[in-house]
Amino acid sequence: MTEVSSLTGRLLVATPALADPNFDRAVVLLLDHDEEGSLGVVLNRPTPVGVGDILESWAELAGEPGVVFQGGPVSLDSALGVAVVPGEGQEQGAAAVLGDGPVGWRRVHGAIGLVDLEAPPELLAAALGSLRIFAGYAGWGPGQLEDELAEGAWYVVESEPGDVSSPDPERLWRSVLRRQRNELAMVATYPDDPSLN
C-alpha cells in the first residue's frame, strides 16, 4: 500500500475533461483524506431548498444564499454543516471557545470546520463567521481519488476560508481557477460548451 499524503482542507477542482455529470465544473472541499478514503462537499451546487425548510434552527446562521447545497451524490438525506470560525483560539462573545474552536465545531483545516448540527445553534452563534448546510457528500474509497488524480480528472489547489461561503457559488469554479498563479488561470476561460468555440 502506498502512503497517502493528506489533501484534507484542499480543493478539488473538476477539469473540463471530467465526464461525470455529478462533478461537472465542481469545486470540492476535502473534509477528510487518508489511506481509508476521502470525503468532501461540493461547494458550488446550491439547491432551491431553503435551510429553514429542513433545519429551521440553523437558518439564521446560514450565509447567503440561505439554501441547502448538494454536497455530492452520496447520502442525500443526510446534512453536513461546514463553517468558518475567524480568529481561532480567541474568546468570542458568549461562545465557549477552547484551543481547537468553539463547542460544537471541529476543525478540518485552518478556520474551516464541521458543525455538529445536533448542538444548539446558540452555542455557536457568536463564533461562526459563515455557515453552509450540505445535503449529501462526495466520497471515494481507498485509492479511488488517487486514481482519479492520476487520470487528470481533478486539479488540487489551496482552499481559502471564503470559498465555503462564496456569495456567488455558480461562479466559484472560474474564480478559484482564475486566482491560481500558473497555467490553471487560463483554464478559467474554458467555454461551457467547447463545440461553440
Comparing 132 with 18, the larger pLDDT belongs to 132
Kindly state the average pLDDT of the residues 36-60: 96
pLDDT value for 15: 93
First to last CA, the chain: 43
- Beta strands 74-84; 11-14: pairing state: unpaired
Contact 129, 85 (CB under 8 A): yes
Contact 77, 144 (CB under 8 A): no
Percent pLDDT > 90 in the chain is 66
Examine the pLDDT at 98 and tell me if it is beyond 50. Answer: no
| Widest pairwise Cα distance in the chain | 56
Whether the link from the prior residue into 65 is cis, omega within 30° of 0, is yes
Q: pLDDT category, 197, cuts 50, 70, 90?
A: very low
Grid coordinates given for 52: 429553514
pLDDT value for 46: 96
For residue 88, the SS3 value is coil
Cα–Cα dist 103/120, whole Å: 10
User: Which tens digits make up the pLDDT trace of 139-183?
Assistant: 999 999 999 999 999 999 999 888 999 989 999 999 999 999 888
